[in-house]
Every structure is written in structure tokens, then in C-alpha cells.
């Protein structure tokens, strides 16, 4: 719906005092990669019931990554990606986003019914800000479908998609709400240095064949190419956020001999190669990582081939041939041939299942001292601080409170006249120690409530009040 119409329509409502609650990062998808499990879904439904039954009108703000289109099925295959004429990476078409949405709807009728129930009260409203996992809300057909599913008419003024960089609720001009991904270079939607994230410049471009597709940020490509395929085996691989922490704790361990099985090592090798050589030569020199060479003795695949037993090598050769990979020499010879090892690495990165359960003789080594990934000293990204700095810069024109999400790390700071809240996430998170060394990947395989607790937070503005507070809805902490 059209933004101007929204604002004129809302004025009347804002004269009345209303409750306002902000949550983010629910990452609702479907199937194997879905992070929104039954327990979390029940918590959300109870929250909606509570919030919808406070005395008076209420506005719920879903501040980005409400739905996770990147991980909703279908989540693999070359049809999901393309590029613009200038090489800008692109991902889903509108039709693909709609197919994903249909699958999300099938997996989570309870959530959508609860939102519909919330909106059944004629004085309640819903505002949805897209995040980096749901830029799909920039597609008109995706918005229409959600509006219909929530029982509203197409021209309803009680649902608002904020297709702009930030949301300043009418009547609460002191408050700025943003998902925050635009301050995170891995997940911002920049095309040739220019941000595309507004109605006039949506993150949608034509591919070479003329089809319109979403712009694919680096983080999304990272998931589609490298992590989604591992998520079936390591269900929590995508719960370790932000990205810099994932790299420090698990990326590093994947490249430490003996600390990760081969599929993880290959995925991280490929991912770092992509991040370093493709993604950031296009924008800023971000991470400054020294990736392991794609070829040569430090490559984890070469290392594995050299240390494997004959039966293990034969098993990999058999799996490769079954998968259609033309293996016209022995793996031993291949390991010495840079020109041959690169396509094999590509193939295995696309099909990590081929090396599942290989390389795990290294399990015996788990628990010994990890080596170190050579991260350049320039590598000092800190998303939590980057988003706070972004909020401090964006807080102009009477704004004294900023609310963001995205990092999945709850955070609060009041300083220099600005109160900043990060509401964290409504998914389980990896509980880490302050100076955590590398951890073995097997942790990511465990469906462990102890390692992956949750802490569900919301920011609340009470009717007529001029301040916001961050509240804890429910949590499950490690015992």
C-alpha cells in the first residue's frame, strides 16, 4: 500500500493514545531449516494474546526478519540466483518469494491465525519492516498475500509495510525504529555503493534475461551457497550471530585440522574465498581475512585427501562418481593439481552431503588445542557497536530513542541524549563466553536447549508516555 495514504489514515488513530510494542528477528520459515520451533511459536502466540488484550488500541511493530525467506523452502538450487548485467548478485523472483511464503504459511498457521486474531480488534494495527531475510516484502504480491491471510482488505489502514530506511511512528516523533542491517556491511543492500532500500529504489533489479529479482546481499549469498546446505546436519549453524562471531568461533575452528568434519571445512573455505575475492572487492574492503588458499597444501580438502586412508579415499571417489562428477584421475593425483582441485571444491561445496561423515576420524582430536585462523589485524568488525553508531548518527530531528534488531544480541545503552535498544531475537541463540576460543562443530549438531537458550524481548511504549522500555517476555536460560 501507498505510504502517503498510510500517514494520512493514521493521523486520526494517533490522536488516541495507543500501546506500541516492537519485536524483531523471528526468522519464521519452514522445514528443515526453520528456527522457529513449537516452543518459540507458543511463546509468540501467548505474547500476541497478551498484547492484544491490553486496555486500548495497540500497534505491533515487526522490526525485520519476521519471516525468513532465505531459509524457507525451496532453499537450494541454481534457479534461486542470477545476476544483473553489471554482475550485481540477485536472488529470488516474485514467484519464488510467493512459493516460499506459501510454504511458510503451511508450516505456521498458528502464528498467522494469532496475528489475524490480534488484528480482529478494529483498533489494533500491525507495522512490518522488512529485514535482510525478508526484503521479499518489497514485492507487491507478497504484501497482498499477507494482507489477505491476516483477514484485512487490500486498502486497510491497519497494516503498514514500512518500505523505507526507518520507521517513525506518527505521534511518537521521538522514536526511530529500524532493523539495522544497513549498518552491517555483510547484510546491507548496496549496489555499486548506493543503498537500495526504499519505495522509489527497492532492492529489486533486472537480471540478464530481464526477470526482476531481489538484490542478494553478501549474507544471503553466504546462506544460500554455503550454510543452508549444512543446516540439515548442523541445525544451529545459522543461530550463531552476528556474522563476525560465527567466523571467530566456528569459521576458525572449521579450518583447524581436526576441529571440524570435511563438509564444514569445505563450506568455510569456499565462503571465505567468496567473501574476500568476490564480495568485498565489489564494495568496501570489509573483513580483511586471509582465507586459506583455495588450492595448495593448506586447503582442507587437500589435507584430508593426503591424510585419509585408502578405503576413505575410495569411498569419496565412489560418491563423487555417483553424483556425476567426472573423476578421471585418482584423488591422490588430484590433490597435487591446483587446476583440478578447484572444481572439486566447488562441487563439494554445492553438495556437502557427499562428504558427510567423512573426515570424522579427526573426532579423536577434538578437545585438543585449536590452531588459529589467520585473521588479519584489520579484522575487528563488531556489529553490535556498528548498529549503535548507526543509531547515534541517524538520531536527528527530535529523536531520542532508537530501536533496532538484526544482531540477535540484546543490548541497551543510554548516552549523549540517545537511548538505544536492540531487542535481540525471537530465535534461540548461541550462548558464548566473553573470550570464547574456537569450538568444535559438533556443538551445532546438538538439539540442545542448554547450549541454545532463548531470551524473548520487546520494547514497549505505554499509552501517552514519552519513553520506551525494553522488557523481557520469556526466557529459557541455561540451567
To Mn ion, the closest distance from the beta carbon of 220 in angstroms equals: 10
What would the grid cell of residue 178 be? 529500524
Of the two residues 152 and 224, which places its CB atom closer to Mn ion in the complex? Answer: 224
To Mn ion, the closest distance from the beta carbon of 70 in angstroms equals: 10
132 contacts Mn ion (rule: CB under 5 A): yes
Using left for φ > 0, alpha for ψ between -120 and 50, and beta otherwise, residue 250 falls in alpha
300 contacts Mn ion (rule: CB under 5 A): no
To Mn ion, the closest distance from the beta carbon of 135 in angstroms equals: 10
Dist. CA 347–CA 340, nearest whole Å: 11
Question: Which residue has the CB atom at the shortest distance from Mn ion?
Answer: 406
Interstrand relation of 82-83 and 190-191 (parallel, antiparallel or unpaired): unpaired
131 contacts Mn ion (rule: CB under 5 A): yes
Of the two residues 316 and 381, which places its CB atom closer to Mn ion in the complex? Answer: 381
To Mn ion, the closest distance from the beta carbon of 225 in angstroms equals: 18
CA angle 327, 263, 261 (to 5 degrees): 120
Of the two residues 178 and 263, which places its CB atom closer to Mn ion in the complex? Answer: 178
What would the grid cell of residue 363 be? 573426532
Residue 168 three-state SS: coil
Residue 370 three-state SS: coil
Of the two residues 243 and 274, which places its CB atom closer to Mn ion in the complex? Answer: 243
Binding mask 157-196 for Mn ion (x = CB under 5 A): ------------------------x---------------
Q: Which of residues 396-435 bind Mn ion (CB under 5 A)?
A: 406
To Mn ion, the closest distance from the beta carbon of 470 in angstroms equals: 18
What would the grid cell of residue 354 be? 557427499
* Count, residues near Mn ion per rule CB under 5 A: 5
Using left for φ > 0, alpha for ψ between -120 and 50, and beta otherwise, residue 17 falls in beta
* Omega before residue 74 within 30° of 0, cis: yes
End-to-end CA distance of the chain: 46
Of the two residues 10 and 70, which places its CB atom closer to Mn ion in the complex? Answer: 70
To Mn ion, the closest distance from the beta carbon of 390 in angstroms equals: 13
Residues engaged in binding Mn ion (CB under 5 A): 65, 131-132, 181, 406
Amino acid at each position: 500500500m501507498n505510504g502517503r495514504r498510510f500517514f494520512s489514515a493514521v493521523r486520526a488513530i494517533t490522536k488516541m493514545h495507543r500501546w506500541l510494542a516492537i519485536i524483531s528477528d523471528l526468522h519464521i520459515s519452514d522445514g528443515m531449516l526453520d528456527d522457529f520451533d513449537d516452543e518459540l511459536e507458543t511463546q509468540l502466540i501467548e505474547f500476541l494474546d497478551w498484547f492484544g488484550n491490553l486496555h486500548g488500541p495497540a500497534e505491533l511493530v515487526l522490526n525485520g526478519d519476521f519471516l525468513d525467506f532465505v531459509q524457507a523452502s525451496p532453499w537450494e538450487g541454481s534457479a534461486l540466483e542470477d545476476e544483473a548485467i553489471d554482475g550485481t548478485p540477485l536472488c529470488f523472483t516474485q514467484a519464488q518469494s510467493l512459493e516460499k511464503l506459501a510454504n511458510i504459511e503451511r508450516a505456521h498457521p498458528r502464528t498467522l491465525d494469532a496475528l489475524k486474531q490480534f488484528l480482529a480488534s478494529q483498533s489494533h494495527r500491525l507495522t512490518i519492516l522488512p529485514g535482510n531475510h525478508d526484503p521479499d516484502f518489497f514485492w507487491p504480491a507478497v504484501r497482498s498475500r499477507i494482507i489477505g491471510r491476516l483477514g484485512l482488505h487490500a486498502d486497510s489502514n491497519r497494516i503498514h509495510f514500512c518500505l523505507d530506511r526507518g520507521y517513525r511512528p506518527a505521534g511518537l516523533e521521538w522514536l526511530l525504529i529500524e532493523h539495522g542491517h544497513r549498518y552491517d556491511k555483510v547484510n546491507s543492500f548496496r549496489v555499486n555503493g548506493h543503498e537500495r532500500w526504499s519505495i522509489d529504489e527497492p532492492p529489486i533489479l533486472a537480471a540478464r534475461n530481464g526477470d526482476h529479482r531481489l538484490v542478494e546481499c553478501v549474507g544471503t549469498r553466504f546462506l544460500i551457497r554455503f550454510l543452508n546446505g549444512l543446516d540439515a546436519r548442523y541445525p544451529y549453524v545459522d543461530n550463531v550471530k552476528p556474522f563476525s562471531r560465527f567466523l571467530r568461533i566456528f569459521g576458525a575452528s572449521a579450518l583447524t585440522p581436526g576441529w571440524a568434519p570435511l563438509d564444514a571445512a569445505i563450506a568455510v573455505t569456499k565462503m571465505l574465498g567468496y567473501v574476500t575475492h568476490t564480495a568485498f572487492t565489489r564494495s568496501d574492503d570489509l573483513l580483511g581475512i586471509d582465507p586459506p588458499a583455495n588450492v595448495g597444501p593448506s586447503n582442507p580438502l587437500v589435507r584430508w585427501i593426503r591424510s585419509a586412508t585408502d578405503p576413505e579415499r575410495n569411498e569419496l571417489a565412489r560418491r563423487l562418481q555417483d553424483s556425476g562428477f567426472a573423476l578421471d584421475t585418482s584423488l591422490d593425483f588430484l590433490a597435487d593439481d591446483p587446476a583440478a582441485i578447484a572444481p572439486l571444491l566447488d562441487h563439494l561445496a554445492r553438495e556437502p552431503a557427499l562428504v558427510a561423515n567423512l573426515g570424522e576420524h579427526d573426532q579423536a582430536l577434538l578437545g585438543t588445542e585449536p590452531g588459529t585462523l589467520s585473521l588479519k589485524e584489520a579484522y575487528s568488525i563488531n556489529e553490535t557497536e556498528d548498529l549503535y553508531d548507526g543509531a547515534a548518527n541517524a538520531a536527528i530531528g527530535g529523536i531520542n530513542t532508537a530501536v533496532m534488531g538484526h544482531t540477535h544480541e540484546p543490548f541497551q545503552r543510554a548516552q549523549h541524549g540517545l537511548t538505544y535498544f536492540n531487542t535481540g531475537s525471537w530465535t534461540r541463540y548461541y550462548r558464548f563466553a566473553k573470550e570464547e576460543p574456537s569450538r568444535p562443530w559438533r556443538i551445532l549438531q546438538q538439539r540442545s536447549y542448554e547450549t541454545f537458550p532463548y531470551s524473548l524481548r520487546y520494547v514497549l511504549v505505554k499509552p501517552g508516555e514519552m519513553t520506551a522500555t525494553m522488557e523481557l517476555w520469556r526466557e529459557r536460560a541455561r540451567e
